[in-house]
Structure 1
Amino acid sequence: MLGSASNLPRHIDRLAKQARRNRRRLVLVTGVFDVLHAEHLALLEKARLQGDVLVVGVESDWRVRQLKGEGRPRHDQTSRVAALEVQGVADGVFVLPEQFSQPQDHLRLVSQLRPDVLAVSEQSPFLDNKRQIMAKIGGRVEVVHRHNPAVSTTKLLDRQR
């Protein structure tokens, strides 16, 4: 369900407002998280260290198909959110808007959520754009995880074929 004053789900909107009210640092991580693996968990654990409250935005099924092609995601967005929630590493998990490919889409999200930190891996695309967007709201981008070329969801799925 969406919050009334924003396009954020209500539980995420409440979590963000509570974090700001209590002067707790809010950290945002976004990604596909299709087949959850150790590198995803390492990214999330390192992101958590950047602040007090960790929120994870999961790419929508439609967007994953645009990014990864037919046959993806392997797990639907509801299952991916549930898998992350079960891990207990994040304080809140939600599905990102389907239209989330342009800088203005990212700006809209961070303007509503107002994270102090956007935590990314070193392979995160459009880092300069993300830094500019976060600077507009007084936040910062932190590269928290090195890319491990040996592990990716695509490689894991290819091995299963």
Structure 2
Amino acid sequence: MPAAASGSHRVLPAAVRKFQALEVRAIDELRRISLPLLRWAVGIVFVWFGALKLVGSTPVADFVAHTLPWFNRAWLIPALGLFEVAIGVAMIVGRFLTVVCAVMVAHLAGTFLSLVMQPEVTFQHGNPLMLTAEGEFVMKNLVLIAAGLVIAARFTRPRRAAIPASRRPGED
């Protein structure tokens, strides 16, 4: 019996080592693809939501128009749609991500104005802990803001070769 017990004892560590090796490979692969995947996912959401505004098929047109009542709805909704499509395309293309993410975060932060402008629509019975569907729609933007911050923080620009001191502009 001791031989069988010691045999199973050897199998378990080997299985654990195989699992650990698989885990390391999976984590390496996730590190490689997760940031581009996040960028593409956010970009697709922005293109999709913006396109719905551009073609006049967004279910949030009234909600947006009532949040910003001082703007003419006829151009506000399509303009926001165009802006969101531009953010989405820029996110997918992956250029100037620091600026794109800053603009995206500012845009998303602006959506919280609806909580102030339309509390009767965003909160149930005036209770700020009880969101309506519209309130939930706005609050999910916290996740998109966090995604934008992650993308901005992890974005790495190609390094430029250092310019020798003797060739720097303005230093003759």
Q: Do Structure 1 and Structure 2 share a fold, with TM-score over 0.5?
A: no
TM bucket, shorter chain: under 0.3
- Who wins on radius of gyration, i.e. which is larger? 2
More helix by share: 2
Question: With structure 2 as the length reference, what TM-score do the two structures score?
Answer: 0.24
More strand by share: 1
Question: With structure 1 as the length reference, what TM-score do the two structures score?
Answer: 0.25
